[in-house]
């Protein structure tokens, strides 16, 4: 029989318990550190994803989410970055089309964008039909009417004509006050440009005359005249880098403008070339020769009734 002190007898057991406790504490500390590291690995990418989606959603398509974890979160970030790049391209495309639509028919703007080449807008010679129109008595009306009413009339006027110009695939090159200049057969050629221009003018006249009924009910004495001429012209864009317009230069433009100036309310005046191109297809009215400002000799002029378009039936 050997007797030992309790402290000595239980010494190994106490030592084992201390070692076990230390290992447990070390394990808990290690688990805590590991959990913290894993949480950081998860929460930081999630924070970057959340911040990135907010910035991309706000329209900052140039922003990129930088996550290099090599897991699903990185693949998700790469997908967001690819989406942002596509959105940036789409936004640029929409802005480009929006600028083109300032002076081109929507289908022409789409064509230029789809081809990725605006060479169709470069200056060249083309056979075009120039269409001019403006309101009769507008100067006197704008002098006595309230500015708000003048703007209301112009808004109704442009809204009506804009839809018709688009429907006929024509090109609005400029507008100033109540006057508009429209081209047919440029920049993209169309079949039977003279016939299309005449139908365009008839639709414009009919639509504005409907507006005039309402304007006169409001006490405004306004009329509407249209002039057309066909011939060669130099067409293309003109301006500078941040602002350009599409226009036509040539005697045909001047002639159409003079015919428009000579047209009375409800009249559509055209030159001999347009009349010859639509002869037998639309009811023409020979009006004889008229003196036009800037021309030494009188010019043969033809008219057409507002019922001359097939859609009038």
24 with 172, same domain: the answer is no
The Cα 87–Cα 77 span in angstroms is: 15
pLDDT tier at 111, thresholds 50, 70, 90: low
Structural domain contains residue 98:
no
Structural domain contains residue 117:
no
77 with 131, same domain: the answer is no
Is the pLDDT at 85 greater than 70? The verdict is yes
171 with 270, same domain: the answer is yes
List pLDDT tens digits, range 183-202: 999 887 889 999 999 999 99
Asked which of 6-20, 22-36, 115-129, 137-151 is least confident by mean pLDDT, the reply is: 6-20
70 with 214, same domain: the answer is no
The Cα 151–Cα 167 span in angstroms is: 24
Which CATH number belongs to the domain containing residue 209 in this structure?
A: 3.30.70.1230
41 with 166, same domain: the answer is no
Structural domain contains residue 96:
no
39 with 169, same domain: the answer is no
What residues form DSSP beta bridges with 132?
Answer: 181, 227
Structural domain contains residue 104:
no
- Rounded mean pLDDT of the chain? 84
Domain boundary among 71, 91, 111: 91
41 with 161, same domain: the answer is no
Tokens of 83: 């989406």
Q: Which of 223, 210, 298 is nearest to 268 (CA)?
A: 223
84 with 183, same domain: the answer is no
11-57 and 72-100 helices, crossing angle to 10°: 10
21 with 137, same domain: the answer is no
Answer yes or no: pTM beyond 0.75: no
List pLDDT tens digits, range 266-303: 999 999 999 999 999 999 999 999 999 889 899 999 99
List pLDDT tens digits, range 71-83: 777 788 888 788 8
81 with 154, same domain: the answer is no
Cβ distance 229 to 274 under 8 Å?
yes
Range of the domain at 39: 6-91
Domain boundary among 66, 91, 116: 91
Structural domain contains residue 108:
no
61 with 207, same domain: the answer is no
87 with 128, same domain: the answer is no
């Amino acid at each position: 029989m050997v007797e030992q002190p309790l402290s000595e007898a239980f010494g190994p057991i106490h030592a084992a318990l201390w070692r076990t406790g230390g290992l447990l504490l070390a394990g808990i500390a290690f688990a805590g550190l590991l959990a913290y590291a894993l949480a950081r690995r998860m929460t930081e990418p999630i924070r970057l994803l959340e911040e990135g989606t907010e910035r991309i959603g706000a329209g900052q398509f140039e922003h990129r989410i930088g996550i290099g974890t090599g897991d699903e979160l990185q693949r998700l970030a790469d997908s967001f970055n690819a989406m942002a790049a596509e959105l940036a391209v789409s936004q640029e495309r929409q802005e480009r089309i929006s600028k083109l639509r300032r002076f081109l028919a929507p289908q022409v703007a789409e064509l230029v964008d789809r081809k990725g080449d605006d060479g169709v807008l470069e200056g060249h010679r083309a056979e075009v039909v120039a269409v001019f129109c403006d309101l009769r008595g507008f100067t006197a009306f704008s002098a006595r009417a309230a500015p708000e009413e003048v703007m209301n009339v112009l808004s109704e006027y442009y809204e009506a004509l804009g839809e018709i110009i688009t429907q006929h695939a024509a090109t609005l090159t400029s507008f100033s006050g109540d006057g508009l200049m429209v081209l047919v057969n440029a920049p993209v050629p169309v079949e039977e440009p003279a016939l299309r221009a005449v139908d365009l003018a008839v639709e414009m006249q009919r639509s504005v005359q409907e507006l005039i009924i309402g304007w006169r009910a409001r006490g405004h004495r306004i009329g509407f005249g249209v002039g057309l001429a066909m011939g060669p012209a130099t067409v293309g864009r003109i301006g500078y880098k941040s602002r350009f317009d599409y226009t036509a230069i040539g005697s045909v433009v001047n002639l159409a403008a003079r015919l428009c100036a000579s047209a009375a309310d409800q009249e559509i005046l055209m030159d001999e070339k347009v009349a010859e191109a639509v002869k037998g297809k639309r009811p023409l009215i020979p009006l004889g020769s008229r003196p036009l400002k800037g021309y030494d000799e009188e010019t043969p002029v033809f008219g057409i009734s507002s019922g001359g378009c097939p859609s009038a039936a």
